[in-house]
Amino acid sequence: MNQSTTPIGPDPELLAQLKGHWLALIEIAVWGDIKSDKLGATSKLRKRILDLGERLKSLGADRDWIPHKRERLKNLLGSCLSMRDTLLLTERTAQDLTGGADLDALTGRLIALHTIVMTDLQGLENLWAEALQSINKDALSDSEEAGE
């Protein structure tokens, strides 16, 4: 995809999918029947899921206020990395759960979210990284031509 036509941000449908899975996760974490033998594990999981929601919101944030496309892409890629790290921390925290009627539902939602991030979102991240690389390459070429 040409760097000038690369959208800076995930499409609304993908964001809606991510948000839907996150809403189901937070509902299960707060209202569902999940248990752990470790003291404080469910509370820690709730905090991780809230943090994940903040990262997902950041992923879909409007970046038009950032004046340069290069900086918008860097910000977006940083948001992706932060969200991915938070998802992995959430998954690790969920491993401390040991039971409850809603454990399978929570695990299923985490797997679904993980799958979307590692497939659909990863493909977009690659496009954004290529666009950033192209912008950097063009800027380098322009500066070399100006220096000659």
**pLDDT tens, position by position, 99-109:** 999 999 999 99
User: Could you tell me if residue 92 is inside a domain?
Assistant: yes
Q: How many domains does the chain have?
A: 1
User: Could you tell me if residue 30 is inside a domain?
Assistant: yes
Take residue 59 and report the two structure tokens written for it: 């992923």
User: Could you tell me if residue 23 is inside a domain?
Assistant: yes
Report d(CA 97, CA 92) in Å as an integer: 10
Does the structure show a pLDDT above 50 at 1? no
Helix/strand/coil percentages in the chain, nearest 5:
75, 5, 20
User: Could you tell me if residue 6 is inside a domain?
Assistant: no
pLDDT attached to residue 138:
75
pLDDT attached to residue 144:
57
User: Could you tell me if residue 40 is inside a domain?
Assistant: yes
Q: Percent of the chain, pLDDT > 90?
A: 71
User: Could you tell me if residue 2 is inside a domain?
Assistant: no
User: Could you tell me if residue 3 is inside a domain?
Assistant: no
Task: Indicate the pTM of the whole model.
Answer: 0.85
The string of pLDDT tens digits covering residues 16-55 is 999 999 999 999 999 999 999 999 999 999 999 999 999 9
